[in-house]
Chain A
Amino acid sequence: GQQVMQIPQYQHVQEGEDFTTYCNSSTTLSNIQWYKQRPGGHPVFLIQLVKSGEVKKQKRLTFQFGEAKKNSSLHITATQTTDVGTYFCAGPYLSNDYKLSFGAGTTVTVRA
């Protein structure tokens, strides 16, 4: 079955630095979604990418969907303490778009 893998599992970042987290799928995805879960909170939808090679920005966050639609990345610039949390990518199963396969997430901690 489809698997969505995320690396790294943990990301320790100095405040003000940039970092990137990666998401890879074993199969081609119709779209990729990113969620953020704050400590003790629940997953909150951030963005969805649909087109091959698509790039979307949300303030300091840049999301990219690979040309082959099998991988995605999230790049955060000038990390702030508000960026703390776990970032999940999720892709739908091919024939059932409602059914999302989530990666294990990248947990981000920030050193002030």
Chain B
Amino acid sequence: GAGVSQSPRYKVTKRGQDVALRCDPISGHVSLYWYRQALGQGPEFLTYFNYEAQQDKSGLPNDRFSAERPEGSISTLTIQRTEQRDSAMYRCASSRGDSYSTDTQYFGPGTRLTVL
């Protein structure tokens, strides 16, 4: 596709339910990142994949959060037993992955998660 896509764009769920957020990166991009963005704040790093390998998950808030990228392309961020404090915009970004320090990250439109 032309850019990073994410689905769903909006998700409203009840506290205690599990949610799965999907990210489809730019074709051929090796690196994939998940961020969380609160209102009025910049994106906050959650996790990073290089191909299918999860290289860094240090930003995941707790063990209710997990992510996978089984075939090195589409990625899913799963939040189990959602809580109201999980409400935020979840953004995915991808990059070519050929050079970390000069690697432009392209962000998707995000999934707005609301936990009631």
A binding-site residues for B, Cβ under 8 Å? 4, 30-31, 35, 41-45, 48, 50, 88, 90, 92, 96-105
Known A-B contacts A42-B91, A45-B106, A99-B56; the reply to A104 vs B40 at CB < 8 A is: yes
In contact, A98 and B42 (Cβ under 8 angstroms) = no
Shortest A48–chain B CB gap in Å is 7
B binding-site residues for A, Cβ under 8 Å? 31, 33, 40-45, 48, 55-56, 58-59, 91, 95, 100-110
Count the A-B residue pairs with Cβ separation under 8 angstroms: how many? 60
B102 touches which one: A35, A44, A48 (CB < 8 A)?
A: A48
Bound: A44/B42 CA distance, A? 12
- A4 — nearest CB in chain B belongs to which residue? B42
In contact, A98 and B103 (Cβ under 8 angstroms) = yes
Bound: A56/B86 CA distance, A? 38
In contact, A102 and B44 (Cβ under 8 angstroms) = yes
In contact, A105 and B48 (Cβ under 8 angstroms) = no
Shortest A51–chain B CB gap in Å is 12
Which residues of A sit under 8 angstroms from B48, Cβ to Cβ? 98-99
Besides A98-B33, A98-B48, 11 more A-B contacts (Cβ < 8 Å) are: A42-B91, A43-B107, A48-B102, A48-B104, A88-B42, A92-B100, A96-B100, A98-B56, A98-B100, A99-B48, A103-B42
30 pairs, CB–CB < 8 Å, chain A vs chain B: A30-B101, A31-B101, A35-B107, A41-B109, A42-B109, A42-B110, A43-B107, A44-B107, A45-B105, A48-B102, A88-B42, A88-B43, A92-B100, A96-B56, A97-B101, A98-B33, A98-B48, A98-B95, A99-B59, A100-B43, A100-B45, A100-B105, A101-B45, A102-B41, A103-B42, A104-B40, A104-B41, A104-B42, A105-B40, A105-B41
B45 touches which one: A43, A45, A99 (CB < 8 A)?
A: A99
Give the 8 A-B residue pairs with the shortest CB-CB distance, closest first: A102-B42, A97-B100, A42-B107, A97-B101, A98-B100, A43-B107, A88-B42, A45-B104
